[in-house]
Amino acid sequence: MVTGKHIHTDLPLTAIIEERPPGEGDYYTSPERWNIAERGTPGMKLVLKGHVLDKGANPVPHAWLDFWQADGNGNYDNTGFNLRGQQYADHNGGFYLETVKPAGYKGRAAHINVKVRAAKNTPLLTTQLFFPNDPKTCDDPLFFAENVMDLTDIEGGQEANYDFVIDIEQKL
């Protein structure tokens, strides 16, 4: 958790899974919300919390985050917006997401897809967050150990924590 005075350091950037040009086209959209799991979605309750930081370990207030994932059976909703949503970090760079723990699927470990950026004209990070002790990570070609979340049990589910480190330099 990020609190108090920040020491200026040179944190490594969060591992990039996929780089895409800015923009997703006219039909890319997801609703703004902090709970992306619709009622009845298969999977155990998962709360994901963390911060968006710059390389100096300073919070990035109001950073944009976009999440999408499979359900507890390893299936994506390709017709609606279940398990899809975007939000803005708070003034301390903090974010909070309620969802379900996804299951892996053919060739992939369980993961949550995420896009993060400081502002509209800053670099876009597209990455995936993974769960500890998932045996499928050994064979997942997109697995990065740096992107494993801290996970603890809570009442009714689990809580995951992860701090993103992003590039905040403006692009021309």
pLDDT of residue 170: 78
Q: Which helix (H) or strand (E) holds 113?
A: strand 111-117
- In terms of Cα–Cα distance, which of 72, 170, 158, 167 is closest to 127? 167
pTM as predicted: 0.86
The answer on pLDDT for 7 being more than 90 is: no
The answer on pLDDT for 129 being more than 60 is: yes
Handedness of CA 116, 1, 71, 99 (dihedral sign): negative
Name the token pair of 27: 């039909």
Domains of the chain, earliest start first: 45-165 (2.60.130.10)
The tens digit of pLDDT for each residue in 138-163 reads 999 999 999 999 999 999 999 999 99
Model confidence at 4, pLDDT cuts 50, 70, 90, reads: very low
d(CA 7, CA 4) in angstroms, rounded, equals 10
